[in-house]
Structure 1
Amino acid sequence: MENEELIVSPKALAKQLGNSQIAIADCRFSLADPQLGRQQYQTAHIPGAYYLDLNEDLSAPLQKHGGRHPLPNPERFAAKIAAMGVNFGETLVIAYDDSNMAFAARLWWLLRYLGHDRVAVLNGGWSAWVEGGYPTSAAPSQPKMGNFTPQPRKDWIVDIKTVKAKKDLQGVVLVDSRDRDRYRGEREPIDPIAGHIPGAVNMPWKEVCDSKGRLFSSEEQQERWAHLNPTDKLILYCGSGVTACVNLLSLKQAGLPPAKLYPGGWSDWCSYSISPE
């Protein structure tokens, strides 16, 4: 398969349908309509795919602080993944969405954060699958018996205290992954305060893919990050630790050193401005 540990083409996946060593995750979701992704899955999905909901499966319940999409409880998440027939460290998980990797990349990063490196994204997502004329199904996938023991790589994430302590240090670059107008504070559709964390540079996540949700080449991903010093330590954030994962995918595809994620993101940062502790 095409770079099976990172990117899979619809053509390559179509040849592997029914392979017990592969688990497919449908991550379609809409922030504006949280039920839409599940409804889309129930209407049609890639045969054998399981649905993972951003709010219910890929996040923990909302709290006072911690951002809009806190990282899920590892054991609860592991049970959901095991029910897809995933065996820790063995099964290749292929994630797709219809939002330029926004939610598929969250699953891609989460699995790797929990120690499972065998995960890839479907290039072009659901749209590319349908446009390719590949089969679809409306039948829900039945639970299987996998074995998933999470091993969190806790040094992959930072909290607000670490961001405050390190963001202005020499050799540390804080990267805001949101749209440029949100970064500049000209528009804020979700969070109560507009703007960005002081000192952050802007690298919009939507620039990782083309207009059809296909990832740009490794060389083009390298060019995206070329203005930064290769020895810089990067901390990435977005609104709530979801779309920043697309930039983390970009770094991986470019062959660059991994960055840390601030999962709480701008929504967590805002929460202390509104209700400080």
Structure 2
Amino acid sequence: MNANTNTINAVFRNHVVPNEQSSKRAGRPIFVDMEVCDLTFPANTKTKATFPAHEPEPNATRESVAAGGGVVTYAMLYNQQYLAFKDGNTQPLSGTPLSEAPFLMEGKRRELIALNVKTVEQLASLDGTPLKQLGMGGRELKNQAKAYLDNAAGSADITNLAAEVAALRQQLAEERSLRQEYMTNAADERTRPTLDPDGNPPTDEAPANLDEEDDLEPVVPPTEAEIDAMDDAALKEYIAKETGSRPKGNPSHTTLLAAAKELALV
């Protein structure tokens, strides 16, 4: 049982149970509240399991102990739901609610919820007997759910890439500005006349050659094809050469390509 598979519905509640020892001592019925976790399964309305919230969950505990950890209770395994229960809030679903699925009509959405299918991830994960419980068209619904999740993941990748490129562009712009400021200050220092002991410039000092760098050969930036052929190390070296600093962090190859092409204006 893995809380990350998005295939189990976990809901916590208080369950009233009799306390036999206290009842005997008091001579009247005594009840106590016990926090429990109800587990239901998508496309399976006949199976429901209830466990004490702070009892070890066998599979998660076995994996944790094997990795050198300790006991994992149901409250720990489904911690988001448990914390919401303790705060008196609606317990969140683990995944994307069916209400966010544009490919579902309201009638079909309600049918799925009645079958304990509450998220797009659960619908996409159905197979075998649970999938058959959806009846005719169930396979198509599963495929639509998978396509929706795949498209969403692709959009997220594009968004993340754009954010990475924007961050690197900002870094390069700042470093380019600092380098330009340094070069300007250095040029001013070179052209400032040398003063004599009285604070006056010598009359015979030759004027500074402001165009001494004009004789240098212009640097030809790499072509788009040449940039595409670079590996990550070569891209970082080129960016460092152009900006005076290597890219921070560990940007992806695509991000490095975009930054290098921007520097080369290709």
- Quick check: TM above 0.5? no
Bigger radius of gyration among the two: 2
Q: Which bin holds the TM-score, normalised by the shorter protein?
A: under 0.3
Query: Normalising by structure 1, what TM-score?
Result: 0.21
Query: Normalising by structure 2, what TM-score?
Result: 0.22
Which structure has more relative contact order (CA 8 Å, sep 6+)? It is: 1
